[in-house]
Amino acid sequence: MTDTNNSIDLTPEISPLMAAIDIGSNSFHMVIARLEQEEIRPIERLGEKVQLAAGLVAGKLQDDAIQRGLECLRCFKQRLDEAQVSVIRVVGTNALRSAHNRNDFIVPAEEMLGVPVEVIAGREEARLVYLGVAHTQADDEEARLVIDIGGGSTELIVGRRFEANITESLHMGCVSYLRYFENGIINKQHFLNAYHAAYLELLNIRSDYHNQWQNCVGSSGTLLAIEQVLVNLGYSQIGIHRDGLKKLQKKILKFDHIDDVDFEGLKPTRRQVFCSGVAITKALFDALDIDQMRLSDGALREGVLYDLQGRLSHEDVRERTVAALEKRYDADLDLSGKVVNTVADIFRQVEGPWQLRESDFGLLQWAARLHEIGLTVSHSQFQKHGEYLIRHSDLAGFSRHQQELLAILVRSHRRKFSLELFESLSKIEREHCLKCAVILRLAIVLRYTETVDGLPPFNLSVAKKTLEIAMPEGWLEQHPLTGLDLESEKNYLQAIDYQLNVR
């Protein structure tokens, strides 16, 4: 008889499910996957045409577009709950980047999904697209050009293996370019208007991409749909070729209206945006001198999953981004390292009472490392220069919201608070960001002492907006400058209704 209490369980441990949701300008997509042997194995894919960008009027999302999007996410949420997905990341692209009232969609979406909706910058979107495509390609050293045509933007990336070297996001997409087909009418002039508009956009970046790649890979529903139509028409065996696009253009011009477009293999939901997608694709082939393009099933959502995998295994691209900024702006690593250590000490003492999150700790550490980069511009008000550099840089791995929070923390690390900076944040985010700014400021006040003769153990207690810091007996008398700095900080904090007591 086997002693079951001492038997060894040889059943392999099943890794938890993770999911990525891509809130695109044309379609919403979700992929649920499991991590196996360091590779992402998709379990289920869902997609729905929402056309968020079509509901963008004068920079404002219309109510019906918002409701379409929320209804789609409601369906995604049901499937996530059924599958018991434990790790979820949601990213928004061009339509949300462009919408002035994006929070009218983001706030209810976050409440429904229970996770943040990250609106990513165009070049960050390009990086993630490349990451998703690269994992579907042969692991060779050839430079590849990756192109993804979305509903509101087109991403172009040149990279090798898993590293994107040149990234660009252009304001041209199959939904936004419907404006060139006035009243939905298809004719030669309307097609050329869309083609020429795309070609002019590409002229701005053509020299950067010239002779930089050996093969071209396409991603996204637009390009996959074009390939399918070309194959069914007998114009291609696989992929997209320039000659096939010319023949397809002639076929398209035989239709009178975008709703009439009907090819074998073309989904009904893709018909309206097919003409504009072909016009953009033809401009890409002509402007960048592409003869042929092969297609990949990898896209933004797969890139999000692989990026998430890196974060879970502590290979966070944001770390590389911060390190690059430190090097570019000649940050004092020894001094900032001391601030990081003090931030960690303070954070662990207050995180419970203040209900802070690990994401707050991550942002605080990055802000501590970058708080003085503005010194490369000027010693006068360098916190403002640091904010500008962070706010207006392309920070790989960071969402726009994370980038804004990082810029606010760097701006708020010294002198008086500019509360106007916090007004764009939600109430909860504003409270968290203010508390993080207070932690960073205290760590910086104490850093000078640590530099000279080391910082002694201290206790910090908090309750709502009241802080009390207790130093060893007699220590403040021996370090009068630190006492004066803490007294000055007490006055700055009073301006935002925080009370600092020192003993």
Does residue 491 belong to any structural domain of this protein?
A: no
Asked whether residue 315 carries a pLDDT value surpassing 90, the answer given is: no
Work out the pLDDT band at 39, boundaries 50, 70, 90: confident
Taking residues 223-247, what's their average pLDDT?
A: 95
Lowest mean pLDDT: which of 101-115, 302-316, 398-412?
302-316
Of 263, 296, 329, which marks where a domain is finished? Answer: 296
Q: What is the pTM of this model?
A: 0.81
- What pLDDT score was predicted for residue 454? 72
In this structure, what CATH number is given to the domain that contains residue 161?
3.30.420.150
Does residue 130 belong to any structural domain of this protein?
A: no
Of 202, 224, 470, 484, nearest in space to 349 by CA: 470
Q: In this structure, are 258 and 210 located in the same domain? A: yes
Of 416, 432, 453, which marks where a domain is finished? Answer: 453
How does strand 17-23 pair with strand 87-92?
parallel
Asked whether residue 9 carries a pLDDT value surpassing 90, the answer given is: no
Q: In this structure, are 364 and 401 located in the same domain? A: yes
Q: In this structure, are 276 and 348 located in the same domain? A: no
In this structure, what CATH number is given to the domain that contains residue 345?
1.10.3210.10
Taking residues 389-407, what's their average pLDDT?
A: 91
Question: What does the chain come to in residues?
Answer: 503
Does residue 469 belong to any structural domain of this protein?
A: no
Structural domain for 336, as ranges: 316-453
Region of 38 (left: φ > 0; alpha: ψ -120 to 50; beta: rest) is left
CA distance 437 to 480: 24
- What pLDDT score was predicted for residue 5? 42
17, 164 in Cβ contact below 8 A?
A: no
Backbone angles phi, psi at 170, to 5 degrees: -110, 145
Distance from the Cα of residue 53 to its chain's centroid: 18
Q: In this structure, are 207 and 343 located in the same domain? A: no
Does residue 421 belong to any structural domain of this protein?
A: yes
Amino acid at 19: A
- What pLDDT score was predicted for residue 314? 65
Q: In this structure, are 33 and 101 located in the same domain? A: yes
pLDDT digits (tens, 9 = 90+) for 264-284: 999 998 999 999 999 999 999
Of 15, 27, 154, 183, nearest in space to 87 by CA: 15
Asked whether residue 239 carries a pLDDT value surpassing 60, the answer given is: yes
Asked whether residue 28 carries a pLDDT value surpassing 50, the answer given is: yes
**Longest CA pairwise span in the chain (Å):** 89
pLDDT digits (tens, 9 = 90+) for 351-378: 999 999 988 999 999 999 999 999 999 9
Percent of the chain with pLDDT over 90: 75
Amino acid at 69: G
Asked whether residue 209 carries a pLDDT value surpassing 90, the answer given is: yes
Work out the pLDDT band at 394, boundaries 50, 70, 90: confident
- What pLDDT score was predicted for residue 478? 86
Q: In this structure, are 224 and 112 located in the same domain? A: no
Q: What is the DSSP letter of 142?
A: -
Taking residues 207-233, what's their average pLDDT?
A: 95
pLDDT digits (tens, 9 = 90+) for 164-206: 999 999 999 999 999 999 999 999 999 999 999 999 999 999 9
CA distance 104 to 458: 44
Asked whether residue 131 carries a pLDDT value surpassing 60, the answer given is: yes
Does residue 414 belong to any structural domain of this protein?
A: yes
Q: In this structure, are 337 and 230 located in the same domain? A: no
pLDDT digits (tens, 9 = 90+) for 427-486: 888 999 999 999 999 999 987 665 566 788 899 999 999 999 999 988 888 888 888 999
Number of folded domains that form the chain: 3
Asked whether residue 400 carries a pLDDT value surpassing 90, the answer given is: no
- What pLDDT score was predicted for residue 10? 37
> In what side-by-side order are the strands of the sheet with 466-470?
459-463, 466-470, 499-502
243, 200 in Cβ contact below 8 A?
A: no
Q: In this structure, are 47 and 160 located in the same domain? A: no
Taking residues 399-410, what's their average pLDDT?
A: 93
Does residue 186 belong to any structural domain of this protein?
A: yes
